[in-house]
């Protein structure tokens, strides 16, 4: 099987010659230049013979064009942080306007996809990272955002409508660039953040507009549900995406529990869950660097066993530590070869 065939078989719960796998992490030393990041990610993927690439544009690309003050980092153990919100009053929500998908930092991020496509052709499937509109708004809005949902819903809806339009425009440009799919990430789909009613009104309704814009044009489409106490059943039942990714080794449900209620393909199995400090430093609760290659093999085999080797794509539950040792990354790929 080639890489695409292996992934398509996994998505359709069919037998694969081995379990497909990849690992992704922040590449802060490269992610301010589209060509540099594209070349680095392709070389990284080829070095470890992974099956797919999840593009890793810097995590604030979706908000920079709206005007927050951002501290950019090139230290691989740090990530960019918002130092000052894009606006400070309720009226600020109403001033957010949609952008073309190739405007500003959005356009630079499309260039990453274009460069990767030129380098890999049809050899390696790759996914662009996009964010739920409310996740984008959260990153640039005042700390009062959740209260504003309740007290100033019309203003927040105005902002979300504009961000949704921008995100759709961005998805369209990435499809033109040749992506195989999208890694749709949300940081607000947890019961720690919102209840079901607020989630449907301010998250799900906008998410589905974005997903509907690409779901029939790309095939490698996943949702990443970030955090603890996640709304797994909401995503399983209401989001038309074939792949779900969450911190499966750190929060419920486990792969085994999830398989009882879901026929989707699960992406994950590796306990990698970073916390971003106010300074931008990444505090990793990572399995790979903290364990031997033998323990990594056992860890990954456990994940595969939970679903009996069907409907699974190995990857981190969130992102891996940028200083993960080479032998640990090779161990991920080798564990997929040795599972029986």
Higher pLDDT, 330 or 81: 330
pLDDT in tens, 278-302: 555 556 668 999 999 999 999 999 9
Residue 71, SS3 per DSSP: strand
* Average of per-residue pLDDT across 219-241: 97
Angle subtended by helix axes 104-120 and 153-177, to nearest 10: 30
Whether residue 61 contacts residue 105, with contact meaning beta carbons closer than 8 Å, is answered with yes
| Cα–Cα distance for residue pair 49/6, rounded to 1 Å | 13
pLDDT in tens, 47-76: 999 999 999 999 999 999 999 999 998 888
Neighbouring C-beta atoms of residue 329, cutoff 10 Å: 19
pLDDT of residue 210: 98
Residue 25 pLDDT level (bands cut at 50, 70, 90): very high
pLDDT of residue 275: 64
pLDDT of residue 264: 98
pLDDT of residue 189: 97
| Cα–Cα distance for residue pair 88/163, rounded to 1 Å | 18
Q: Please tell me the number of Cα atoms within 13 Å of 110 on its side-chain side.
A: 20
pLDDT in tens, 120-173: 999 999 999 999 999 999 999 999 999 999 999 999 999 999 999 999 999 999
Residue with tokens 């906008």: 206
Domains of the chain, with CATH numbers?
A: 3-338 (3.20.20.210)
pLDDT of residue 302: 98
pLDDT of residue 73: 84
H or E element: which one contains 48?
helix 34-48
| Cα–Cα distance for residue pair 77/79, rounded to 1 Å | 7
* Average of per-residue pLDDT across 99-118: 98
Whether residue 317 contacts residue 246, with contact meaning beta carbons closer than 8 Å, is answered with yes
pTM of the model: 0.96
pLDDT of residue 79: 82
pLDDT of residue 340: 83
pLDDT in tens, 202-211: 999 999 999 9
């Amino acid at each position: 099987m080639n890489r695409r065939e292996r992934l398509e078989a996994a998505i359709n719960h069919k037998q694969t010659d081995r379990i497909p796998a990849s690992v992704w992490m922040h590449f802060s030393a490269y992610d301010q230049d589209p060509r540099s990041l594209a070349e680095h990610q392709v070389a990284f993927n080829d070095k470890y013979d992974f099956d797919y690439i999840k593009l890793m544009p810097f995590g604030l690309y979706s908000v920079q064009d709206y005007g927050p003050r951002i501290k950019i980092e090139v230290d691989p153990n740090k990530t960019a942080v918002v130092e000052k919100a894009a606006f400070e009053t309720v009226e600020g929500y109403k001033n957010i306007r949609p952008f073309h998908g190739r405007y500003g930092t959005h356009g630079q991020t499309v260039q990453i996809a274009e460069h990767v496509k030129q380098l890999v052709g049809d050899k390696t499937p790759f996914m662009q990272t996009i964010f739920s509109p409310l996740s984008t708004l959260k990153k640039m809005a005042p700390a009062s955002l959740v209260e504003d949902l309740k007290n100033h819903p019309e203003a927040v809806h105005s902002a979300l409508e504009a961000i949704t339009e921008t995100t759709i425009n961005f998805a369209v440009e990435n499809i033109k660039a040749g992506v195989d799919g999208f890694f749709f990430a949300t940081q607000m789909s947890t019961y720690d953040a919102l209840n079901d009613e607020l989630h449907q009104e301010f998250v799900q309704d906008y998410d589905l507009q974005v997903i509907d814009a690409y779901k029939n044009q790309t095939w490698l489409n996943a949702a990443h549900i970030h955090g603890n106490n996640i709304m797994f059943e909401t995503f399983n039942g209401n989001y038309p995406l074939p792949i779900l990714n969450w911190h499966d080794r750190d929060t419920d449900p486990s792969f085994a529990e999830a398989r009882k209620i879901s026929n989707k393909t699960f992406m994950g199995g590796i306990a990698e869950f970073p916390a971003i400090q106010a300074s931008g430093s990444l505090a990793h609760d990572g399995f790979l660097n903290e364990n031997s290659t033998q323990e990594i093999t056992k860890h990954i085999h456990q994940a595969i066993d939970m679903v009996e080797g069907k409907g699974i794509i190995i990857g981190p539950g969130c992102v891996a530590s940028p200083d993960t040792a080479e032998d640990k990354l090779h161990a991920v790929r080798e564990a997929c070869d040795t599972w029986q």
